[in-house]
Amino acid sequence: MEIISGVFLIIGGLFYALGGLGIFRMPDTFDRIQAGTKATTLGAFSILIGVAFMFPSWSLKLFLIALFIVLSNPIGSSALAKATYRSFGGPSNVERDDLKEFLGGTKDVD
Amino acid sequence: MKKVLALVFVLVLGALIMNHLNDNNLFAGFGDAMLENRVSQSYIDRDATENNDGVVFDESLDLESGAANTVTAIVADYRSFDTLGEVTVLFISSFGVALLLGQSKKRIALEFKPNFMLKIGSRALFAVILMTGVFVSIHGHLTPGGGFPGGAMIASSMLLLYLADDEFRAKMRGFKILESVMGVFYIILGLAGLMITGFFLENFLDNGALGTLFSAGMIPIVYIIIGLKVGSEISSVIDHFLSEEGA
Amino acid sequence: MKYVATFLVLFGSYLLLAGITLEEVIVGAIVSLVLSVIISNMVSYNIDAKFPLRLALFIVMYVPVFLIELIKSNVNIALRVINPSLPIHPGFVKVKTALTGDFQKLLLANSITLTPGTLSVDIDGEYLYIHTVDVTTADAKASKIGAKFERIIGVIFK
Amino acid sequence: MITIIVFGLIGLGLLFALMRLIIGPTVADRVVSLDTFNVIVIGIIVMLSFVFERSLYLDIAIIYAILAFLETIVFARYLEGHYGNH
């Protein structure tokens, strides 16, 4: 049991480190949001599972944390992405931009 | 004429206070505090079971306050009267915001529409946040937290709805009624303690076994009251800041 | 029906927080009952009678696929991050969806955000606006991102 | 031993996110790195509760997760409003 838990914990730590590295290395804000959201979500999941293997009686609370993270993280990052596009425009290196027609102007379309 | 009256009144009051300060009648023992008798030291030295045989979760019955969280025991039991004052301070500040910003009817429309995902997802997350706030308030005597953080969580769930939904506006009347009713409940609880034990806000309920939900006497009730009161106060502050005056 | 569903969600989250003992179940039931009445009047949403069936379908069909996609997406991003040449071709793609309900669209958008190389930015009517790390892939060219999830969600909410 | 490795890896992630927080050219970059920071901190709290074997700390992790989400939302709405008319 300890070995399984340790493996999950190390995978979690690894994905956290990769998420941080992604935030650091990616060239524009949207790619950073992608790296930050995904890698850290799986990192958090991994660590929660690892802890749940060691302490099975905590699994209810750990499940709630996982549920909240998986619900809130994508919502937060997409809100952030929209705000970034609104306020700073799209990145310069995009190869295709369908969003411009929707969010490009300063007036709200809604 | 009014100014002269006010001056006379202040002078008389000042003279009274100075007189009593000199006699040491108003503040008994003022200026000669004895360090070994300080309140904090006596809390540290105190023993919960009288006979030093340790405290066991789920078994120890009828402890002095019965709360697993010592900070909660101090805030909501030993120093409950001070906490009543703190809640009053918060009430006055929210009242002051209401006075300054005026009775507003229209909600300020944020310039940009919220994200679709945020708009829909907040309705589900809102329930979880509200529930956590209530949970933190109820379990103040068992877990870290208590009424004040719980109330802040309740208010933050309202803030989430305000940010995520342009049309949302909480029913302010409901909040005001809830806030007042909770304040009255706190006083009634204190008066009940006065009636039954002879001291204002003294615990008059069974302490129960340490570490279970129904333990610690009045502390959970006090913290539920504080949580709802703080939550409604901060929510009304948020509402006032996000509303504009006029029609 | 709306009240029942709200009550179940609140009660579930309370039990997850507090653990299951007799006292907690009693207190949780009372609190959830009161809060579900308040919330149902405050926030507008509608849930129909097939809710339990959908929840079961959701757990059986959706969750395994989702977890596999989540792991795939993380490995994908991790490989891109570690690669010294950073192989990314970012761009925004507009995708049409056949789903109609608000909650379905939210579920689809969240799934897209947590799957390989894509991030949903906003939804406008029936169009999803998606940022993708690699616009050169076949999925992005044909605007078929999230097609798998769309099928599954369509089955669940039929 | 395992906990030391895990904390080391998490610390590495925190360090990179912190560097982005400091150099990030725009406000949006800083907010994004702060968002990542928050998720990492949730992991740290869970790990601490694992090391000290106290399930009480998980409550703090839940509350931190909620407040971190709210912080992200507030910052996102602020960015939209403040820099919107560029």
* Mean pLDDT of the B13-26 span: 71
Tokens of C154: 């369509």
Q: What is the pLDDT of residue A110?
A: 39
For residues B167 and B243, is the Cβ–Cβ distance under 8 A?
A: no
B101 to chain D, closest Cα gap in Å: 21
H or E element at residue D69: helix D56-83
Q: CB neighbours of D60 closer than 8 A, spacing ≥ 6?
A: B144, D45
Lowest mean pLDDT among B19-28, B133-142, D32-41: B19-28
Q: CB neighbours of C95 closer than 8 A, spacing ≥ 6?
A: C127, C128, C129, C130, C143, C144, C145, C146
Buried b (16+ CB within 10 A) or exposed e, B62-93: ebebbbbbeebbbbbbbebeebbeebeebbee
Query: CB A10 to CB D5 under 8 A?
Result: yes
* Residue B193 Cα to chain centre, angstroms: 18
> Which tens digits make up the pLDDT trace of B174-202?
788 888 888 888 888 888 888 887 777 77
Q: Does B207 touch chain A (CB under 8 A)?
A: no
- The better pLDDT of the pair B63, B192 is held by B192
Distance in angstroms (rounded) separating the CA atoms of residues D64 and C154: 34
Q: One-letter amino acid identity for B11?
A: L
What SS3 string covers B126-172? HHHHHHHHHHHHHCCCCCCCCHHHHHHHHHHHHHHHHHHCCCCCCCH
Q: Which residue has the tokens 């769930």?
A: B157
Distance in angstroms (rounded) separating the CA atoms of residues C20 and D14: 36
Residue ranges of domains in chain A: 2-89
| Minimal-distance CA residue of chain D relative to B139 | D59
> Which tens digits make up the pLDDT trace of B76-120?
777 888 888 888 898 899 888 888 887 667 777 777 777 778 888
Q: Which chains touch C (3 or more CB pairs under 8 A)?
A: A, B
Distance in angstroms (rounded) separating the CA atoms of residues C110 and B149: 30
Chain A residue numbers touching C17 (CB-CB < 8 A): 60-61, 64
Q: Catalogue the E-assigned strands of chain B.
A: 106-107, 243-244
User: pLDDT category, B8, cuts 50, 70, 90?
Assistant: very high
Q: What is the pLDDT of residue B55?
A: 64
Q: What is the pLDDT of residue A44?
A: 87
User: In 3D, which of B238, A32, B30 has the Cα closest to residue D31?
Assistant: A32
User: pLDDT category, A22, cuts 50, 70, 90?
Assistant: confident
User: In 3D, which of D75, D32, B31 has the Cα closest to residue C119?
Assistant: D32
Q: Can you list the pairs that B160-163 forms with residues at least 24 positions away whose Cβ atoms lie under 8 Å? A: B160/B122, B160/B125, B160/B126, B160/B129, B160/D70, B160/D73, B161/B122, B161/B126, B161/C43, B162/B238, B162/B239, B162/B242, B163/B110, B163/B114, B163/B118, B163/B122, B163/D73, B163/D74, B163/D77
Mean pLDDT, chain B, rounded, equals 78
Q: Does B124 touch chain A (CB under 8 A)?
A: yes
User: pLDDT category, A12, cuts 50, 70, 90?
Assistant: confident
Angle at B214 between CA B213 and CA B219, to 5 degrees: 95
What are φ and ψ of residue B214, in 5° steps? -90, 70
Q: How far is CA C133 from CA A37, C46, C90, C147, D25, in A?
A: 13, 35, 4, 17, 20
Q: Which residues pair with C132 in a beta bridge?
A: C91, C118
- Collapse the DSSP code of B112 into the 3-class scheme (helix H, G, I; strand E, B; otherwise coil) and give the result: coil
Distance in angstroms (rounded) separating the CA atoms of residues B146 and B138: 7
For residues D42 and D65, is the Cβ–Cβ distance under 8 A?
A: yes
- The better pLDDT of the pair C125, A23 is held by A23
In chain A, what is the straight-line distance between the N-terminal and C-terminal CA atoms, in Å? 53
Tokens of B19: 């007189």
Tokens of C83: 């690669």
Q: Which residues pair with C128 in a beta bridge?
A: C95, C123
Tokens of C143: 């605007």
For residues B218 and B205, is the Cβ–Cβ distance under 8 A?
A: yes
- Give pLDDT < 50 ranges for chain C: none
Q: What is the pLDDT of residue B4?
A: 92
Mutation site for A-interface testing, chosen from C119, C135, C143 by largest number of A Cβ within 10 Å: C119
Mutation site for D-interface testing, chosen from B163, B166, B238, B241 by largest number of D Cβ within 10 Å: B163
Residue D25 has pLDDT above 70, yes or no: yes
Mutation site for D-interface testing, chosen from B110, B129, B135, B158 by largest number of D Cβ within 10 Å: B129
B154 to chain C, closest Cα gap in Å: 12
Mean pLDDT, chain A, rounded, equals 80
Closest CB from B123, B130, B161 relative to C45:
B123
Neighbours of B36 (CB within 10 A): 7
Q: What is the pLDDT of residue B145?
A: 78
For residues D71 and B160, is the Cβ–Cβ distance under 8 A?
A: no
What are φ and ψ of residue B106, in 5° steps? -100, 140
For residues D30 and D57, is the Cβ–Cβ distance under 8 A?
A: no
Closest CB from B115, B117, B123 relative to C43:
B123
Interface pTM, i.e. ipTM: 0.85
> Which tens digits make up the pLDDT trace of D35-58?
888 888 888 888 888 888 887 888
For residues D46 and D61, is the Cβ–Cβ distance under 8 A?
A: yes
Q: Which residues pair with C120 in a beta bridge?
A: C130
> Which tens digits make up the pLDDT trace of A57-101?
888 888 888 888 888 888 888 888 888 887 777 666 666 666 666
* Residue A90 Cα to chain centre, angstroms: 20
Q: How far is CA D83 from CA A86, B116, C50, D28, in A?
A: 8, 20, 44, 10
